[in-house]
Every structure is written in C-alpha cells, then in structure tokens.
Amino acid sequence: MYVNTKDILEKASKEYYAVPAFNINNMEFFHAILEGALEKRAPLIIETSEGAIKYAGNGDIFKGARYFVELVRLFADSVD
C-alpha cells in the first residue's frame, strides 16, 4: 500500500517502532529493498540522489522521478 511519509511516521511513533530509510543508488538495490519490504509487509522510506534519478530517466530528472514513483506504486499495489 502506498502511504505518505507523515502517516507512516505518525503511526510508528504511536506504536513505538522504527521505519528504515534506504538510499537507493541503483535499480537492483531498489528492487531488492521493495521486495523485502513487501515480503515482510513492512513500511519503509525510499531516498535517492539527483544523479540516480537522472540516470533512471536517461538524463531527464522529471522522467526519472516519475519512473521511481510509478515503480513504487506498482509494487505497493501488488500487495493491496
């Protein structure tokens, strides 16, 4: 399920657990982190760099950002 960060962190604070944040630098790591979170049904925060976003978008930062967002949503929707 795709949930905004504010909601994730508020719930974690109320229930006393941590939410990991992963800095993604390549697509293989991105997929592995998402698959692990889905398997455990655990929340996570995904971070990345401008360079990684540009790379994913073949030099276009906006295209790369849209790609990452859509990929996260596809993974998230697969467990709803």
**For position 1, what pLDDT does the model report?**
65
> pLDDT higher for 21 or 27?
21
Asked if residues 43 and 3 have their Cβ atoms less than 8 Å apart, the reply is: yes
Is residue 44 within 8 A of residue 32, CB to CB? The reply is no
Share of the chain above pLDDT 90, in %: 38
Work out how many domains the chain is built from and give that number. Answer: 1
Q: Which domain holds residue 72?
A: 5-14+21-77
Mean predicted confidence (pLDDT) in 32-50: 88
d(C-alpha 25, C-alpha 47), whole Å: 9
